[in-house]
Chains A and B, each alone.
Chain A
Amino acid sequence: MSDRSYIHAFGAHLPERVVANAELASQLGCTEEWIEGVSGIRERRWAGEETVADLATAAARDCLRKAGVEASQLGLLIVSSGSAERRFPGPASTVAAALGLNATPALDLPIASAGSIFGLSLASHLAAAYGDVLVVAAEKMSAVIQGGALDQNTAILFGDGAGAALVSSRQGRFEVLDSVLHTDGAYRDDLTLDWGSALHMNGLTVILQASRKLPAVIGEALARQNIAPADVKQFVMHQANQNLILRVAKALGVDASLMFSNVSKYGNTSSASMFIAAAEWEPAPGPVVFAGFGAGFNWGALVARSA
């Protein structure tokens, strides 16, 4: 089996209900213009009865369909979520059962926003041993927002959704060239979600660290492949905030148009956002970069070559 790995397809699922800034603004006592100005977000989706596993299963099916792969072919399932409903088991086993799998290993990654880049990187290494790996990221952040007292600066950001990626050692659309992952637990208390509590985010520290660490890890991964940021065809990052995405472009010295963004439509869907974005993009052939940053702090980047 080849040591090389390839991303074959991305999939996504977004709940139907659109929550525009006007609806949130009236609840939070701010203006829709202020929300868009500080975040670049115009609307987001909120799930109703759908669980994290329901969202994940729908995105998984979309990805499998696009990849032309049957669920029974999977050698490993990885499900990332920071908003799962219960402590254990996480949504991975529910998604596996929904896909008709009864012996395929299914692993949860409960690290929130960086879960998709961690899952993608791990899958690229594990594909040689396990075969086709489906990485799914699903979040129901509306339950977090509505589950406790949140401050205005946090409540405006989040949305619900799920995305997925199919990684295989068989040749496919994106050849994975390299990936870099990092964790610094010194910041473990700056972004947290405890059971029964509101989400806590020290926004100043999160943005300050993300502004520095995202360009640095992207530069680190690219340098290992002797690729200059200017030679990258497109970047797709965790869609946290449009201002952060633009700041990363500036730090890398690349045009903002190279940063794929759909945060205006879906808000910050935490770990799901990078895959939801990737499911909508069509990069030109050449190097592409995936990157994410989140609670922990965990952050990373993956360099691939688009065929």
Chain B
Amino acid sequence: MRDRLLKVLNKVTSQPLNIGDEDSLFESGLLDSFALPDLVSGLEEEFSFKVPDSDLNPRKFDSVARIEAYLSEHAKV
């Protein structure tokens, strides 16, 4: 799962992910408000699931660790 997640993140950010799992993707500048919808769409496509509107909370996608936790709970991995 982690490799697939990082593949999606790399595609969206188009730059090396030199941050820790707990570091904020937003505060690090890797994700901005328009890259975030691309990340969510990319995850939905890669993991064949739909993030419901009620889960479209930036905090859920703020770090590699948080995305991993969300995918573990909701996606087909």
Contact = CB atoms under 8 A, between A and B. Distances in A.
B31 to A, nearest CB: 8
A246 to B, nearest CB: 10
A207 B36 contact: yes
B69 to A, nearest CB: 18
B56 interface: yes
B37 A211 contact: yes
Contacts of B37: 207-208, 211-212, 247
Contacts of A211: 37
Contacts, number: 35
A300 to B, nearest CB: 15
A207 B53 contact: no
Contacts of B58: 202, 204-205, 208
Nearest to B37: A211
Contacts of A213: 53
B47 interface: no
A183 interface: no
Contacts of B33: 203-204, 206-208
Interface string A35-65: 0001000000000000000000000000000
7 contacts: A38-B34, A204-B26, A205-B58, A207-B34, A208-B36, A209-B56, A212-B53
Interface of B: 26, 32-34, 36-37, 40, 53-54, 56-58
